[in-house]
Amino acid sequence: MSDLYRSALSARLAKLPLDLPPTSEDEDDLDPEMDAEDGDALGVLPGSGLGPPAAPARAKRTPRAPNPDFAPISGADFFADALQVAVPARKLDCRVYYTPPKSADGTVLVCHHGAGYGALSFAALAREVVGVSRGACGVLAVDARRHGTKLTEEGEEDADLSIGVLVDDFVGALEAVFPDPGAAPTLLLVGHSMGGAVVVRACPRLLEGKYRVSGVAVLDVVEGSAIEALPHMHSLLNARPDGFDSPEDAIEWHFKTKTIRNSHSARVSVPSIIVPAPAGSAHAYTWRTPLRSTAPYWTSWFTGLSDAFLAARTARLLLLAGTDRLDRPLMIAQMQGKFQMVVAAGVGHMLHEDDPTHVAEILLDFWRRNDRVRLPFKGIKGVGEA
């Protein structure tokens, strides 16, 4: 860990809980009209890839009325179809959101979300990708095990979220949606955070299965930074709210803490990551996937991620929300031109929700250079190809 990173990490931990919703003890001391953007932002640990940042636990209080400015928005406006896809080999029933490309020989961005999130975190991005590409690119997003609407055939989910299980689930879902590799569209794999670890390991499996994979894009996760951040995650999670009074309350929390900086996207994605709380709970809603329950699997997600990314036999893109995030293997490989790296400005860890238009442009530029442009000269490779 660099001295700069240590200093930044220490500063972030020391500043808890600035720029987060006040506890009931502090509410009377604050101007109710104060802008939620004032003060220093906590954000997430650099490159940690472990989901939303911490927030202070809320003391018991009278539930607030839902704020209509943060009312949920249906995902139906962002995808053409919402499907339940049976994966018999995995004993799973997967929720898949899909907008196909206009032509049979088009490309589909296949998206895997991060820990604690769901497939609808790609909703705003999906609409931008389809619109900007004029239908040449479609988007398919899959809910992971224990995330979103995804159950075992017996109705109870297997709790195992180790990397091997997640990769098997992801590949199985794609094989169910596109059973004939020869007739399947070209795939461009996109993974955010934990999802990046899944797609880079799924890439060789799909290529072995004769699927056409034009590229793999990893969004805001680096092995070195993620591993270094793990010891601090429990301290952060201790301060995270246990639940919310309503879906609107959950959406508002995500927006005002800058977990998701785009309220429109949050209104689509956040309702799917909470569930009604058990009877007798202090809150009406709680997390669908409590991040603390995923702790036994964090190391498996990120260990070996850099090597797996660099070994992918396709074009590679690393899209980050900050510059101080590359570990040594990636830094060397980036200097050697082995992958394309882009740093997005003005976004947080949920960069694809914060600025879906810009992220769509970056992904489509990557797609155009590595999929649609067919170089006629022998030995010429696309950007990022080994």
> Residues with catalytic annotation?
193, 220, 349
Asked if residues 271 and 137 have their Cβ atoms less than 8 Å apart, the reply is no
Token code pair at residue 251: 């959406």
C-beta of residue 190 within 8 angstroms of C-beta of residue 363: yes
Three-state SS string across the chain, please?
CCHHHHHHHHHHHHCCCCCCCCCHHHHCCCCCCCCCCCCCCCCCCCCCCCCCCCCCCCCCCCCCCCCHHHCCCCHHHCCCEEEEEEEHHHCEEEEEEEECCCCCCCEEEEEECCCCCCHHHHHHHHHHHHHHCCCCEEEEEECCCCCCCEEECCCCCCCCCCHHHHHHHHHHHHHHHCCCCCCCCEEEEEEECHHHHHHHHHHHHHHHCCCCEEEEEEECCCHHHHHHHHHHHHHHHHCCCCEECCHHHHHHHHHHCCCCCCHHHHHHHHHHHEEECCCCCCCCEEECCCHHHHHHHHHHHHCCHHHHHHHCCCEEEEEECCCCCCCHHHHHHHHCCCCEEEECCCCCCCHHHHCHHHHHHHHHHHHHHHHHCCCCCCCCCCCCCC
Strand order in the sheet with 274-276: 243-244, 285-287, 274-276
